[in-house]
Each structure stands twice: as C-alpha cells, then as structure tokens.
Structure 1
Amino acid sequence: MTRPDAPAAAERPADGVPRRNWAGNVHYAARRFHRPETMDELRRLVAGSDRIRAVGTGHSFNRLGDTGGDLVSLAGLPPSVRLDPQRRTVTVPAAMRYGDLATFLHEQGYALANLASLPHISVAGAVATGTHGSGPTNGNLATAVAGLELVTADGDLLTVDRASDSFAGMVVGLGALGVVTRLTLDVVPTFDLRQYVRLDLPREALDAAFDSAYSVSVFTDWRSPRLREVWRKQRADQPPPPADWLGTTAADRPRHPVPGMPAENCTAQLGEPGPWHERLPHFRLGFTPSSGEELQSEYHLPRAAAAEALAALDGVAHLIAPVLQVCELRTVAADDLWLSPNQGRDSLAVHFTWIADAAAVLPVVAAVEERLAPFAPRPHWGKVFGLAPDAVAATYPRYADFTALLRRLDPHAKFHTDLLARYFPR
C-alpha cells in the first residue's frame, strides 16, 4: 500500500520490462526480457521458449511470476478496447490498468461492478490471482470475466468463454495455463458513490458494518480492541449514516489508511459524491499511493467464522502490531471459479500490510497462519504466505481438477515457477 506504481526513472530499463516487482522485494531471475509489439511476435516467442512468464504491473509480493527463462511484458501489444453495449461487455488488452479502463468505461456510460483498492494494477494480473474489491454482494474482480484469449504452450491462440469446458478453472489461472492476451469483462451502467469514514468501531458491530454499504473496508492496527476506521462506499442516493452510527464517530477530515501518510493520495471522502471509479479504490490513479516499502499477506476465511478467527488472532496481536503498517478487513461474495479464494463461500479477507523487513515479518506470518489454521484459510496467491501445500489444497474442492487442467494445457511445465511447483508439483 506504500510503494509507487512504477520503478523510478533511473531503474526503468530501456525495453520497458520491469526487472523487479512493485514492492522491490523480488528481483526477477529471468535470463531474457521481452516486449513484443505484435501477436505473431508473442506467439513465436512463447512457442520457442522452454520457460516463460508474463509480467504486468508487478503487484505480486512473492515469486509466483518469477522465472529463470523468459519474462515478457504485454504492454507493447495494440491497446485496443472494444465495448459491446448489447452484450454489456468490454474486451480489453491484458496489460491495461484498471484505472485506465474505468475512465474509458465511465465516459461511455458504463462501469465495472467492483474494483480493488489500487487502480494501478493490470487487469490480467489481478484476475489471474483472484484479486478482489469489497462488498457483501460483490464478487472478486475475476468474477466479471466472460471470456479469455491466451497463447498456449505451443504458440496457438485459444479463446474460451463461460460456455467452454474448464472455463471456471482457467480464469484464476495463476499465469500457469498460458499467456493471457485479452479479457472480456461484464459491465453495468455507470453509478455514483459517496465515501464516509467512521472511527472506532466496536468489534461486535463488525458484521453490521460490512452489510451497511455497497463496499466496506475496516482498518485496524491490532493495538486496540476497537477497529480504527471504517471506509463506507455507499450509493450516492442513499442517506448518510446517522451521527451515532454503530457507536462510531465521523472523521472530520480525509484519511489515509496508514497513519501519518498523506490523505491527498486517497479518493474523496466526507460524503462528496462522485463516479464509481473515483470512490471504490482507496487511492487515486494519478497519485502514487504514498511512499516507502512494504510486504503484504492476505487470507480469505469463511465469513461465518469471522468473529472466531479475529478472536484467534488476538492471541498473537502482540506479535502482529510491531511489524504492521495496517490491517484491512473486507468481505467478498462467493463464486464458482476453481482457484478463487472465494470459491464456494462468502468470505472475510484479512489483509496485512507489513513493514519491509522479511526477517521480522515471516515468523509473524507463520504465527498468523497457525492461528487461522482451524478456519481453512486460503491465501491470496500473489501475497506472502507459507501455508503447507496440502493445507491449501484441502480448502479447494476443484484443486485436483485444476492440477489436471494444468498438466493438459502445459504438459512440459513451460509456464511453471518454483512457487507453482511447490503447490502444484508435476
């Protein structure tokens, strides 16, 4: 939450392909870096490589996207966007950022139903890892996908949609099934929201807070039994929360989720109405989120177990607090995508933004995972986690089906990485 959205100019290579991830904790091990400008060039590159991965905006905090072979950026491919008002879909290039897509859609009178807290992330990368926004009835970003185009291991171009076999297994594909080049997303009519920040929520009111608005994020520092901030993103035509809403008080000025960071980087608050894409994210597209470095972990749990899970984490709050910048709690609606962290269950997402000190953070991550183990946690695929492969597999009913799909589409492990090999051994 505290890194700029691109490397500094001096670190930006001439070919435009990043050599490290957004947070700076992963330096890519690829032998070669590529930025093709045509589909034919990309297909030849994929067909001729023994190991290859696509890289977007680099917002993963682990080595899911790292490879010792070829790393390819799709930012040089034609940036065409095709809106289909009759089908209410939009087809976009994989490398497009959500913020740029949202601006285009709003100008055309359309919207996406959900957005993540950062509009700087690429569409394909967010979808592939099951990245999400928030809301009691909002699915994660991958649930909007109506179709995919990808280059498979032999260089062929494969197009699939919701009527295709195994489509639900291919959407959250971890980049392991091929290089996704285009995605078709569902759209809805554009809409306006207001954002209100409330302070000091009692823990027992958390469930009611989550159900109170279109999208809700709750921030805590694990230093107090009360929850520090509630960011409510409600439809603009709904009445504002009453002065005594759930025992909280209204923020009297704009806030940043991380204490001490500049609020001008954040989307408008204090109930000021505005279009969906300027309220659903926490951060504004034209600004860097803030400054500094970080690591992130995130776990998705059954929403019904929220109170018990948070009580379990209270037992390690004394470990969490010293290495934490902020913790965000969100809800995400259930879906049917095989490797989605929300597959089959309405979820509570517990997101930790840590300090940028792996030696200090990793033992705390292990303690958090031990506490959450009784609740069948699913890690965000692109964050820092250490859960055992069998524990992760046990939480996904279609895990074996995805493994079989992986072996069928990529029989020679062209798109595999060390992290994938741990969780999906060949």
Structure 2
Amino acid sequence: MDMIEHSAHAPSARRQNWARNITFAARRLHTPASVAELQEIVAGGSAIRALGTGHSFNTVADTDGELVSVAGLPRAVEIDRAARTATVSAGLRFGEFTGELHRNGLALHNLGSLPHISVAGACATGTHGSGVTNRALAGAVRAMEFVTADGTLAKTGRGDADFPGSVVSLGALGVVTRLTLDLVPAFEIQQWVYEGLPQEQLLDRFDEVMTEAYSVSLFTSWRDDPIDQVWLKRRIGGSGPGTAPRRWLGATLADGPRHPVPGMPARHCTEQQGAPGSWHARLPHFRLEFTPSNGEELQSEYFVDRCDAAAAYASLDRVRERIAPLLQIGEIRTVAADDLWLSPAQGRDSVAFHFTWVPDGAAVAPVVGAIEEALAPFAARPHWGKVFTTPPGTLRGLYDHYADFERLTERLDPVGTFRNDFLMRHFPRAADGAEGEKAVG
C-alpha cells in the first residue's frame, strides 16, 4: 500500500490514513487544480482540513466536514542559487524535488526517514530527521504562503511576528500552498551500519555516539541489552570517501545491507556499506521507489532534552518488558533546537524516542501510557502526528508559547473553519461550546 495520492481518488470517497487506523469522516475530498479554486473552496466551506500524504497516526487531519489536498496544484520548484532558497509547492513529496535541488548544487540541511511525505504536512507536524546540529524539517522554512479562512492568500516569513507560530501549525491557520526553504551547498554521504552496540557504551558515551556522524539513528527492539543497529550517515569531506573500522565502541560493522525492522527486505532501504551517494539518496532510511512497509503499524514518539538522554533511556529500560512484545522496532535520534512555537524541539536540543508498534491500538494504548509515565520527569513532548495520550493540560505546560498559538489561531481563524476534534481537544475555546467541552473531556 502506497502513501495517499489524492489526485488519483474521486472526491466523494471515504479515505483512510496510510496505517489504516484512521478512517476519515469527511463528506468530501477536494483536489483543486489551482490556488484560485482552493481559495473558493475554503471561502465557501465551514469545516475544512488539509490532508497531506496520510502519514499521521492520529486524527490531526480528520474532519466531519471537507478535506482538501494540495497535491493537484501546479508543480513549482523555483530555485534561487544566489539566495540559496527553493520555493516549492506544498503538496510535493520530498522525493519529488530533492533531486532537482541536488542537480543545481544545493541541498536541504536534513531529511526525514521517508522521502514519501509531503513538505507541507511534514513541516506542519514537526517531523524531523536526525543530527545533533540538524533542526527538524520545519527549521528550513524561510517563508510560506497559505489560504486563510476567508479565502485570502496570505504570506508570512522569518522575522514576522506570527512566523514562529505559523510553520508547525497543525493545519490550524489555513491551507499551505507554497513554502520557501533555506538551502545549503550539496554534499555527499556514506552510510554505515553497526550492530550490537553495548548499552553501557551508549549510556556512558551518548554524546560521543550521536556525534559520530552527520546523522545518527539507533534502532532497538527493547528486547536485549545491546542496541540492535546504529546507522551512521557521514558527510564526505575534502579527502574523499572514508572507510569504517570493523569494530566501533564494541559494535560490529554489518556484513551486508540491513533493514531496521527484522524480516523486512533491505532493498527497500537507502544504500549502505559506505557507498558514496548524494545527500537526498542517503539521509532518508528508505527509497522513494519502494514502500517501506505495508502500512500495518502504529507509531509514537517523544522528545526530551538531550541532556536527559541517558536518564530517559534508563527510565524506558525499566518498562522494556511492556514495550518489547508490541514493538516492531524503536529508533533513537537527536534533533537540534529551534524557535518554532509548537515544534517538539522548541527551545531545547532534543533526543527523540520513536516506537513503531504492531497494528493493535487497544493493546498499544496502555503501553503508550506507561512510556509517558516513564518519561514524565523529563517533560517529554509527543510528536503531534503520532499516537499519544498526554493530556492537553500537561501539553500546555510543556510549551512556552502554547497560549500565544491559541491567540494566533483565534485571530486568523475566528469562526473555526479549520478546527476539528483534535484541535478542540488540545486548544479549546469557549466558542467551541458543548462540542468543545465534550472533546476536551
């Protein structure tokens, strides 16, 4: 099963997300072919939500009104080499334009594990890649264009008062049509996989492990003491491609390509074993031409301050017997701090603990609760697009600008055109009335 390709679907059909754990309640799915058509749809609607590639695992995109996909808007990739920016249409998947950037000698600073996700959806939910100096994907956004509740085409850019609250916005402010992204000079990467990193090495030398490469991902089943796999994505410097020792901190270099999920084919993954490749062909874990799995999974993820990484890991280790039976694989990554109000890495360099579950929501829910309890001392912020049960009141205390974001949504969407149950639960308004009170409860 591939990611949702909205342009290929009839507008009246019901849709499910990629994981098939959410069936969208919308009565209609619009796929406008122009910005003017999108403006008309939004201005004439009373309940609108933007739908990306469907890779969220909760109801953040759901609505009982109307869904809008921008995947059918005219394709745009406008590269400004002098300014080192690219302005791209919001519905593009990363894998559909990163090659063009590379051919022009430019790159994004970071990429997520999947090139299949849309640029607007990834930025709106705080999705990220890995690297101690690499901000989440939304950190590259310099400016954005979006359709507001009255159909106006609005713009905001870095330096504007509203900008920090507008990028990771959960679709609450409007339907994004274009984003301008900061770029860096193109670079190449070698990817190496090590197996069996001893837990004591990770806990004693966490920063050393996570700074070993430009991007580092740790994969663990939480079943045994060692970390199952360490994926090191090293930038190739002026001296050209390097080599990797067979042993590193007690881990062993893999003798062939690996997939992070046991039993899944490694051909779905980006090339390993030190083969040099462009940034966009190595920073993701998975290749665009393959679906990384069949969608039969759930995901959760929590961000804590990087200085608490070892203590947070140890706390999770104490509940591993509850985690392991329902887990397909866990991943640990670092994300650099940013200043975006709802970014899970806002204001603090972070480590993200990710969990890919078996597709059994009822069984997973209490384990998610146990993880949240274990991470509560570390002010863990959940990924907005994944499965979590953190109460809204707790979330409010985890973000410095929660109230600022609420005021921004009330100003830009006073009648609640873009509000859904998810937003009413987490950002309640008095105007939501009985429905809002029910959602919060």
The partner residue of 2:327 within 324, 328, 342 is 324
Instruction: Give the counterpart letter for 1:222 in structure 2.
Output: W
Contact kept, 8 Å, 1:17 with 1:34, in 2: the verdict is: no
Contact kept, 8 Å, 1:17 with 1:73, in 2: the verdict is: no
Contact kept, 8 Å, 2:12 with 2:27, in 1: the verdict is: no
Q: Distance in 1 between matches of 2:248 and 2:320?
A: 27
Q: Distance in 2 between matches of 1:294 and 1:302?
A: 27
Q: Distance in 2 between matches of 1:18 and 1:184?
A: 32
Which position in structure 1 is the counterpart of 2:439? none
Which position in structure 2 is the counterpart of 1:22? 18
* C-alpha distance 170-6 of structure 1, shift in aligned 2 (>3 A): closer
Matched, 1:153 2:156: no
Matched, 1:379 2:382: yes
Could you say what secondary structure the match of 1:361 adopts?
Answer: helix
Which position in structure 2 is the counterpart of 1:391? 394
Which position in structure 1 is the counterpart of 2:196? 200
Could you say what secondary structure the match of 1:229 adopts?
Answer: strand
Q: Distance in 2 between matches of 1:292 and 1:175?
A: 23
Q: Distance in 2 between matches of 1:136 and 1:75?
A: 32
Contact kept, 8 Å, 2:134 with 2:335, in 1: the verdict is: yes
Give deviations 1:296-317, integer Å, cap 9, x for gaps: 0000001111111111111211
Q: Distance in 1 between matches of 2:16 and 2:108?
A: 29
Matched, 1:233 2:225: no
Which position in structure 2 is the counterpart of 1:257? 260
Contact kept, 8 Å, 2:59 with 2:422, in 1: the verdict is: yes
Which position in structure 2 is the counterpart of 1:125? 121
Residues 204-219 of structure 1: pairs in structure 2 closer than 5 A: 204-206=200-202, 207=206, 208-219=208-219
Matched, 1:271 2:267: no
Ranges in structure 2 where 5+ consecutive residues have no aligned partner: 430-441
Which position in structure 1 is the counterpart of 2:437? none
Which position in structure 1 is the counterpart of 2:77? 81
Instruction: Give the counterpart letter for 2:101 in structure 1.
Output: L
Q: Distance in 2 between matches of 1:402 and 1:282?
A: 33
Instruction: Give the counterpart letter for 1:215 in structure 2.
Output: S
Residues 71-110 of structure 1: pairs in structure 2 closer than 5 A: 71-110=67-106
Could you say what secondary structure the match of 1:384 adopts?
Answer: coil
Contact kept, 8 Å, 2:12 with 2:29, in 1: the verdict is: no
Matched, 1:140 2:140: no
* C-alpha distance 235-403 of structure 1, shift in aligned 2 (>3 A): same
Shift of 1:106: 1.1
Shift of 1:205: 2.9
Contact kept, 8 Å, 1:16 with 1:35, in 2: the verdict is: no
Contact kept, 8 Å, 2:94 with 2:119, in 1: the verdict is: yes
Instruction: Give the counterpart letter for 2:418 in structure 1.
Output: F
Which position in structure 1 is the counterpart of 2:369? 366
Which position in structure 1 is the counterpart of 2:433? none
Instruction: Give the counterpart letter for 1:180 in structure 2.
Output: V
Shift of 1:101: 1.4
Shift of 1:20: 1.2
Contact kept, 8 Å, 2:379 with 2:398, in 1: the verdict is: yes
Which has the higher mean CA deviation after the structures are superposed, 127-136 or 238-247?
A: 238-247
Q: Distance in 2 between matches of 1:252 and 1:6?
A: 35
Identical-residue share of aligned pairs (%): 58
Give deviations 1:47-97, integer Å, cap 9, x for gaps: 111100111101100000001111011111111211111111000011000
Instruction: Give the counterpart letter for 1:53 in structure 2.
Output: R
Shift of 1:44: 1.0
Q: Distance in 2 between matches of 1:155 and 1:315?
A: 51
The partner residue of 2:339 within 324, 333, 336 is 336
Q: Distance in 2 between matches of 1:90 and 1:52?
A: 28
Q: Distance in 2 between matches of 1:15 and 1:109?
A: 39
Shift of 1:347: 0.4
The partner residue of 2:412 within 398, 409, 413 is 409
Q: Distance in 1 between matches of 2:80 and 2:325?
A: 50
Instruction: Give the counterpart letter for 1:27 in structure 2.
Output: T
Contact kept, 8 Å, 1:17 with 1:35, in 2: the verdict is: no
Shift of 1:19: 1.1
Shift of 1:188: 1.1
Instruction: Give the counterpart letter for 1:42 in structure 2.
Output: L
Contact kept, 8 Å, 2:245 with 2:253, in 1: the verdict is: no
The partner residue of 2:39 within 38, 43, 48 is 43
Ranges in structure 1 where 5+ consecutive residues have no aligned partner: none
TM-score (norm 1): 0.96
Contact kept, 8 Å, 2:12 with 2:28, in 1: the verdict is: no
Give deviations 1:386-408, integer Å, cap 9, x for gaps: 00111111111111111111111
Q: Distance in 2 between matches of 1:64 and 1:150?
A: 18
